[in-house]
Structure 1
């Protein structure tokens, strides 16, 4: 049973959507790096500190949302296509490279999500006596958002590369299967 071309188009469509969301998240991370609070924004009255909210907070939230959606869509399409292949072709196996890429995507996803969540929450308003943690104000270190932007790209490219390699692997298996058929008959 061969997969109709419409379903392959759907797989490619969702891969493109996932890549687009990942690129949007990357750009938002870079913008958040530019708009994050700097030392000159910190106000100190001798005992207490105050940091105003920055635009990096909203940009970080938007980056997180698009990043989560990219990861969910990429993994969903990979899972759905792999399950469909196993259902219709019991001998189908997910390629080893696809498994490695999925592992890389989840590890980098975890690190990027932690960096983005922490950095974004630090760019929220930190009033006197409240601060970010135990009444103290914290600034996001330079390069934190850039590092998370790189991890976003690694994550999205890994999960979509895994889906693409699974798709290509199944096409190669189909061609080998039809060649064997022709030799027998």
Structure 2
């Protein structure tokens, strides 16, 4: 059994660490978001205070973005090193596309939710002067997408690593290195 490459292990560790941070920030943002009882009304104008969910959501976006870029760019650089079968290429591309789709969806949810928790003064609401509150479980949905993104990123990291792993090659005599016997 081969030992895992140190580089791939470091990349996976970075992706998992940053994904865990993004997940934690997303879950924390769900509990810290602005609630309807925080809304202040003055006639037809409304105001919402700034919430710590704003910073937590931004931190989640930053952590997830760095994890996605590190995982994707490093693996994409290494994927061109060796020949791959068409089947492994399909698996790799499928996991890569699914990773970016879940990443994009998570970023949209986190960025929108964070923006709506950034504070809204009277008459200058989030959109058209109206106050909007993030629905329940939006940040939790983003947390699920963060986990999905990390799993897909680790999946294609493994898929590419498996296809570029060093294999035994025949030597000059036509025998595999593993089959060669030393004669004393």
Same fold (TM > 0.5): yes
Higher helix share: 1
CA distance in 2, matches of 1:9, 1:80: 16
Partner of 2:84: 92
Shift of 1:181: 4.2
Match of 2:137 among 143, 148, 171: 143
Contact 2:79 2:164 in 1 (8 A): no
CA distance in 2, matches of 1:127, 1:79: 45
Q: What stretches of structure 2 of length at least 5 have no aligned partner?
A: none
CA distance in 1, matches of 2:38, 2:25: 21
When the two chains are superposed, the root-mean-square deviation of aligned CA atoms in Å is 2.3
Match of 1:55 among 52, 65, 68: 52
Give me the TM-score of the superposition, normalised by structure 2. Answer: 0.86
Contact 1:74 1:156 in 2 (8 A): no
Contact 2:99 2:153 in 1 (8 A): yes
Partner of 1:37: 34
Q: Name which one, 1 or 2, has greater alpha-carbon Rg.
A: 2
CA distance in 2, matches of 1:71, 1:14: 11
Q: What stretches of structure 1 of length at least 5 have no aligned partner?
A: none
Q: Runs (4+) of structure 1 moved beyond 4 Å? A: 177-181
